[in-house]
């Protein structure tokens, strides 16, 4: 364990060992580098992600323990199941990534600061164009009322952010993601850090070592999905 933050060059060829990650703030590993597609893919494969505020340098993190959810094991309340059965909302995958990330940025800008910066939006849009980042949309007629986005590598999904404009619509997006990833034989949804909300949905804390074992085993495996883009339907509630 080091008490020094590693400075990355503009052209990133690798990340430092996670043994260098700080305990306080939890998981801060490195500063600098870039947000190019290859850099982000390399980071996620190693259990590292960027998080920084507007105007700050890029900060790279790998917290321990790690909050994760097993696909298909999301806890659904009785009221949420009832809402889903009504088909009041339509759920799609990869229909409007740009609108989802913009809505997530707006939500966090209002409540938590501006960590989904313009640079982050550009970077994850490029990841989407490259086939690595994906969105789940929840619609009320033609209005986008909820959703989430994240990064898929092999059989691991790294959830990044979600938003709701109507009650429970982010939970609907997460429920759709969890069930579909189970069908596609994904092994883990990375939720990054603990929150009471994630705990209530069934997410669990695991050690960084165990998390890295998942990444080493499953990031290189091909999932059983040919195309993310779809109109999604509940099959068995």
pLDDT of residue 6: 92
Please, what is the average pLDDT of the chain?
92
Distance set, CA 198 to CA 119, 163, 186, 189 (Å) = 27, 14, 19, 11
Residue 56 and residue 52: Cα distance in Å, rounded? 6
Report the residue count for the chain.
237
| pLDDT(113) > 80 | no
What are the residue ranges of CATH 3.40.630.70 in the chain?
Answer: 67-232
| pLDDT(237) > 50 | no
Residue 33 and residue 172: Cα distance in Å, rounded? 35
- CATH code of domain 67-232: 3.40.630.70
Could you tell me the pTM of the whole model? 0.94
- CATH code of domain 6-63: 3.30.70.3550
What are the residue ranges of CATH 3.30.70.3550 in the chain?
Answer: 6-63
Cβ neighbours for 110, distance < 8 A, ≥ 6 positions apart? none
Measured N-to-C along each axis, helices 169-183 and 78-85 cross at an angle, to the nearest 10 degrees, of 80
Specify which residues 8 forms β-bridges with: 32
Residue 101 and residue 119: Cα distance in Å, rounded? 12
Segment 35-59 shows an average pLDDT of 96
């Amino acid at each position: 364990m080091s008490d020094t933050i590693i400075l990355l060059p503009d052209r990133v060829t690798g990340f430092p060992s996670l043994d260098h990650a700080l305990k306080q703030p939890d998981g801060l590993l490195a500063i600098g580098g870039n947000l190019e597609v290859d850099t982000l893919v390399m980071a996620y494969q190693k259990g590292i992600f960027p998080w920084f505020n507007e105007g700050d340098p890029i900060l790279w993190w790998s917290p321990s323990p790690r909050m994760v959810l097993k696909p298909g094991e999301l806890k659904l309340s009785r009221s949420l199941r009832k809402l889903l059965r009504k088909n009041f909302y339509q759920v799609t995958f990869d229909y409007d990534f740009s609108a989802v990330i913009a809505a997530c940025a707006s939500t966090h800008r209002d409540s938590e600061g501006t960590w989904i910066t313009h640079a982050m939006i550009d970077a994850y849009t490029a990841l989407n164009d490259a086939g690595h980042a994906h969105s789940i949309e929840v619609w009320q007629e033609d209005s986008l009322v909820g959703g989430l986005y994240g990064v898929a590598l092999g059989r691991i999904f790294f959830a990044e952010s979600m938003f709701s404009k109507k009650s429970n619509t982010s939970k609907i997006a997460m429920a759709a993601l969890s069930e579909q990833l189970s069908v596609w034989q994904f092994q883990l949804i990375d939720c990054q850090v603990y929150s009471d909300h994630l705990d209530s949905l069934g997410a669990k804390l695991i050690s960084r070592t165990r998390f890295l074992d998942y990444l080493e085993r499953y990031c290189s495996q091909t999932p059983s999905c040919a195309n993310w883009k779809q109109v999604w339907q509940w099959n068995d509630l």
